[in-house]
Amino acid sequence: MPAKPFARQTLSAQVYEHLREEIVFMQRKPGEMISENEIAEQLQVSRTPIREALRLLANERLIEIIPQVGSRVSLISVRKIEEAWFIREQLEVGAFVRAARMWDLFLARQYEEPLLQLIEQQRDAAFAGEHEKLLKLDEEFHKTIISITKNETLIDVIEQMRAHVNRARLLTLKEKTKSGLVVAEHEDILQAIKKRDAQQTGALLENHLQWLHLELPELQKQYPDWFTD
């Protein structure tokens, strides 16, 4: 069934976002060939905005454009994950620590209930085995806390860093025990922020971000055709 046509004024950007989400959430598998004709029919757009979107995705190393062959979804690069993980850890821990230091009654009224609702929705998604939904809610939880700092540049940079990492994270969230652990860790982090305990907040987030780094070797063994060094 064809998708609803996009508004013309932001065609390339919307095609880019659509394809990027399909890649990040593994609806398009690593190594899968991309058909411009299939996308054009699905999204009801011409090939011009599709090619522009593919160029942007290639700049992010999310697809490979192979001369005389076409485009394919990039394999999950362990090197890119390690690089993105390092940058994300440095920036995000700092943002969470700052959020804990800034926390007050005004911020509590603005942010506490939405964050608690996100945690509850995550718990429901984990129990139901809705891995893609859980990952999106996880991202929203992190983004909401970072937004406390009012640093838009930081939010944009971290968002860019997540694409490569999230493809691997989605694979790990398929384990129910891991899904439940993620939710529990979010609860602990929020409690530390509410206590304005910056040191504990930073330590909890560092531990929270470590597990993908530790599980990468096992993921490579489990999905050898999807990963590359």
**Superfamily for the 77-228 domain:** GntR ligand-binding domain-like (1.20.120.530)
CB distance 73 to 54 below 8 Å: no
CA distance 86 to 218: 20
Q: Where are the beta strands (DSSP E) in 56-113?
A: 63-66, 70-73, 76-77
Mean pLDDT per segment of 10 residues, for the chain of length 229 residues?
54 92 94 94 92 94 91 94 88 96 97 98 94 94 96 88 88 78 96 98 94 86 93
The number of angstroms, rounded, from the C-alpha of 26 to the middle of its chain's C-alpha atoms is 11
- In this chain, the answer to whether the domains covering 8-74 and 77-228 adopt an identical fold is no
Residue spans of the domains in the chain: they are 8-74, 77-228
Q: Which fold has domain 8-74?
A: Arc Repressor Mutant, subunit A (1.10.10)
The number of angstroms, rounded, from the C-alpha of 172 to the middle of its chain's C-alpha atoms is 13
Using DSSP's 3-state secondary structure scheme, residue 163 falls into: helix
Per-residue confidence (pLDDT) for residue 88, from 0 to 100: 86
Positive or negative, the Cα torsion across 116, 147, 137, 79? negative
CB distance 144 to 111 below 8 Å: yes
The number of angstroms, rounded, from the C-alpha of 72 to the middle of its chain's C-alpha atoms is 20
Per-residue confidence (pLDDT) for residue 29, from 0 to 100: 96
Per-residue confidence (pLDDT) for residue 213, from 0 to 100: 79
CA distance 202 to 109: 23
CA distance 14 to 112: 32
∠ CA(141), CA(145), CA(149), 5° rounding? 155
Per-residue confidence (pLDDT) for residue 126, from 0 to 100: 92
Q: Report which of 198, 192, 100 is spatially closest to residue 146, judged by C-alpha positions.
A: 100
* Residue 224: partners with Cβ closer than 8 Å, 6 or more residues away: none
Per-residue confidence (pLDDT) for residue 1, from 0 to 100: 47
Separation in Å, CA 2 to CA 5, 28, 36, 38, 44: 8, 17, 14, 10, 7
Position 17, amino acid: E
